[in-house]
């Protein structure tokens, strides 16, 4: 089969790395890809939001299956468009991707289908929102309805901070139309885990559990990022808890979407807070997590391409179970100086070959590109350095040993990825 993966981050490098191992894969392309992806797949310079350009490429190159990495093309309706032309594609249609693209739609689905989540209220008027903030007090959480590149959620410690967030979203319109409506919700306490499943709307196959690290600095301090590292499995998620999350969050959501006439095919990612009152859904994403995917896929023994194909054809029942490596996996993100604020690009990266040759290590590229045969930085999250080990502790040790071989000017990373797992 001829395959196209859309995207250019660490998640897409992991997808390409895994798909390339499939016996079904004859030729692999990635649009636009990065320097690491270019070692496995042929990169084509088409941007992820250029639906017309991607469609033209797929028809010309006779691609058998397209795999969508990021949320932007999904929310632009790439799956609807490709399906109209009879092209096979892995990912939800636009109406289904609203589970991520509209936080209000997502919360309304949760409320309607009894998915446990934080109490919330929706506002389209700033004064009303501010009154409500005064009423419920702090801490509380303010969320812009639409996509905001992962920045649309403010966990406010004070009433003032919450009101300012509402002003920024609704009046200053820092996220544009995404802030037309906002959600104000109860602040939940607990440990966060990511539960990611693949579904064709009829069947569900859960991926291994994982945990992300959203804050930029050690001990979960500093501002939120796209994710500074991940590990799998999340030791806090016992098999019983896993079942409970799938039963209370995943099934009602997919079933609820089906009742609304939405046939959900692709990845459903649930961000879960483990509260003292049980697991509660924080949010859904319509795609694989980044960097969770880099910590999950090295553990997957089953053929991912076969699973994706079965999903796109709505024949996921063909895949009986997913097989997993019992080893643990940890991924440490190496970020550019200044990230998640403004940062520079174009720094030369050294030590990549040495790190990649270490046993049980995979170096996934995120923001990199090739310039005159040298790999340089080209984004905020630059690399996802991944280690496999018999225990989480051993996996962490392998990942950090490899990180120490790598350097570029301004590079920073967290030193405590996976440490939470060691308490269990």
Q: Which residues bind ligand AMP (CB under 6 A)?
A: 118, 141, 153, 155, 185-188, 192, 214, 271, 282-283
DSSP lists the bridge partners of residue 112 as none
Nearest Cα to Cα of residue 305 among 9, 8, 88, 86: 88
Asked if 12 is part of the footprint of ligand GLY (rule: CB under 6 A), the reply reads no
Give whichever of 16 and 188 is closer to ligand AMP, judged by the CB atom. Answer: 188
The one of ligand AMP, ligand GLY, none whose footprint includes residue 360, by CB under 5 to 8 A per kind, is none
DSSP lists the bridge partners of residue 204 as 199
Q: In what order do the strands lie in the sheet with 65-68?
A: 42-43, 27-32, 2-7, 65-68, 89-90
Asked if 290 is part of the footprint of ligand GLY (rule: CB under 6 A), the reply reads yes
> Could you give the 3-state DSSP secondary structure of residue 318?
helix
DSSP lists the bridge partners of residue 375 as 370
> Could you give the 3-state DSSP secondary structure of residue 177?
helix
Asked if 303 is part of the footprint of ligand GLY (rule: CB under 6 A), the reply reads no
Q: Could you tell me the two tokens for 75?
A: 């929310």
Residue 177 CA to residue 43 CA, distance in Å, equals: 33
Parallel, antiparallel or unpaired: strands 65-68 and 89-90? parallel
How many residues bind ligand GLY (CB under 6 A)? The answer is 6
Per CB under 6 A, which region of 62-70, 83-91, 283-291, 332-340 contacts ligand GLY? 283-291
Instruction: Tell me how far, at minimum, the Cβ of 217 lies from ligand GLY, in Å.
Output: 17
Query: How far is CA 282 from each of CA 103, 375, 422, rounded to the nearest angstrom?
Result: 10, 37, 24
DSSP type of residue 101:
H
| Chain residues 209-248 in contact with ligand GLY, contact rule CB under 6 A | 212, 227
The one of ligand GLY, ligand AMP, none whose footprint includes residue 263, by CB under 5 to 8 A per kind, is none
Q: Could you tell me the two tokens for 406?
A: 């790598």
Give whichever of 136 and 187 is closer to ligand AMP, judged by the CB atom. Answer: 187
Give whichever of 36 and 226 is closer to ligand GLY, judged by the CB atom. Answer: 226
Q: In what order do the strands lie in the sheet with 266-275?
A: 204-206, 191-199, 266-275, 278-285
Per CB under 6 A, which region of 2-10, 83-91, 154-162, 282-290 contacts ligand GLY? 282-290
Give whichever of 227 and 367 is closer to ligand GLY, judged by the CB atom. Answer: 227
Per CB under 6 A, which region of 42-50, 51-59, 109-117, 286-294 contacts ligand GLY? 286-294
Instruction: Tell me how far, at minimum, the Cβ of 387 lies from ligand GLY, in Å.
Output: 19
Task: Report the residue from 252, 289, 340, 418 that binds ligand GLY according to the rule CB under 6 A.
Answer: 289
Give whichever of 110 and 267 is closer to ligand GLY, judged by the CB atom. Answer: 267
Give whichever of 38 and 162 is closer to ligand AMP, judged by the CB atom. Answer: 162
> Could you give the 3-state DSSP secondary structure of residue 214?
coil
> Could you give the 3-state DSSP secondary structure of residue 145?
coil
The one of ligand GLY, ligand AMP, none whose footprint includes residue 155, by CB under 5 to 8 A per kind, is ligand AMP
Nearest Cα to Cα of residue 82 among 56, 55, 42, 109: 55
The one of ligand AMP, ligand GLY, none whose footprint includes residue 145, by CB under 5 to 8 A per kind, is none
Give whichever of 139 and 389 is closer to ligand AMP, judged by the CB atom. Answer: 139
Q: Could you tell me the two tokens for 39?
A: 């070692």
The one of ligand GLY, ligand AMP, none whose footprint includes residue 188, by CB under 5 to 8 A per kind, is ligand AMP
Give whichever of 130 and 293 is closer to ligand GLY, judged by the CB atom. Answer: 293
Residue 271 CA to residue 90 CA, distance in Å, equals: 21
- Angle at which helices 126-136 and 159-170 cross, to 10°: 160
Instruction: Tell me how far, at minimum, the Cβ of 158 lies from ligand GLY, in Å.
Output: 26
Instruction: Tell me how far, at minimum, the Cβ of 50 lies from ligand AMP, in Å.
Output: 26
Instruction: Tell me how far, at minimum, the Cβ of 212 lies from ligand GLY, in Å.
Output: 4
Residue 64 CA to residue 19 CA, distance in Å, equals: 13
Residue 11 CA to residue 364 CA, distance in Å, equals: 8
Give whichever of 194 and 368 is closer to ligand GLY, judged by the CB atom. Answer: 194
DSSP lists the bridge partners of residue 196 as 269
Interacting residues with ligand GLY (CB under 6 A): 212, 227, 285, 289-290, 292
């Amino acid at each position: 089969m001829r395959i196209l993966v859309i995207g250019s981050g660490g998640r897409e490098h992991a997808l390409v790395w895994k798909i390339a191992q499939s016996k079904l894969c004859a030729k692999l392309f990635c649009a636009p890809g990065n320097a690491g992806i270019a070692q496995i797949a042929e990169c084509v310079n088409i941007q992820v939001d250029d639906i017309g350009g991607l469609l033209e490429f797929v028809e010309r190159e006779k691609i058998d299956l397209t795999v969508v990495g990021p949320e932007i093309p999904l929310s632009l309706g790439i799956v609807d468009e490709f399906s109209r032309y009879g092209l096979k594609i892995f990912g939800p249609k636009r109406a289904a991707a609203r589970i991520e693209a509209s936080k209000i739609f997502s919360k309304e689905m949760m409320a309607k289908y009894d998915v446990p989540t934080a109490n919330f209220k929706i506002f389209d008027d700033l004064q009303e929102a501010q009154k409500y903030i005064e009423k419920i007090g702090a801490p509380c959480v303010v969320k812009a309805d639409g996509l905001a590149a992962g920045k649309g959620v403010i966990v406010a410690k004070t009433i003032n901070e919450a009101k300012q967030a509402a002003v920024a979203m609704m009046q200053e319109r820092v996220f544009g139309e995404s802030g037309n409506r906002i959600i104000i919700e109860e602040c939940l306490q607990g440990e966060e885990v990511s539960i990611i499943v693949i579904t064709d709307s009829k069947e569900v196959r859960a991926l291994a559990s994982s945990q992300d690290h959203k804050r930029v600095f050690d001990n979960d301090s500093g501002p939120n990022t796209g994710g500074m590292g991940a590990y799998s499995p999340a030791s806090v998620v016992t098999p019983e808890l896993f079942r409970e999350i799938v039963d209370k969050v995943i099934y009602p959501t997919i079933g609820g979407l089906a009742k609304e006439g939405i046939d959900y095919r692709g990845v459903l990612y649930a961000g879960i807070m483990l509260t003292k009152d049980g697991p509660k859904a924080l949010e859904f994403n319509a795609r694989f997590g980044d960097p969770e995917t880099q910590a999950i896929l090295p553990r997957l023994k089953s053929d991912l391409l076969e699973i994706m194909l079965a999903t796109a054809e709505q024949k996921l029942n063909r895949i009986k179970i997913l097989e997993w490596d019992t080893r643990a996996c940890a991924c440490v993100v190496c970020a550019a100086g200044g990230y998640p604020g403004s940062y520079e690009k174009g720094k030369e990266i050294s030590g990549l070959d040495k790190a990649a040759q270490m046993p049980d290590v995979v170096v996934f590229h995120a923001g990199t590109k090739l310039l005159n045969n040298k790999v340089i930085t080209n984004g905020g999250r630059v690399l996802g350095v991944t280690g496999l080990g018999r225990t989480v502790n051993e996996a962490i040790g392998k990942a950090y040993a490899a990180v120490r071989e790598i350097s570029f000017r301004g590079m920073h990373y967290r030193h405590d990825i996976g440490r939470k797992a060691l308490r269990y």
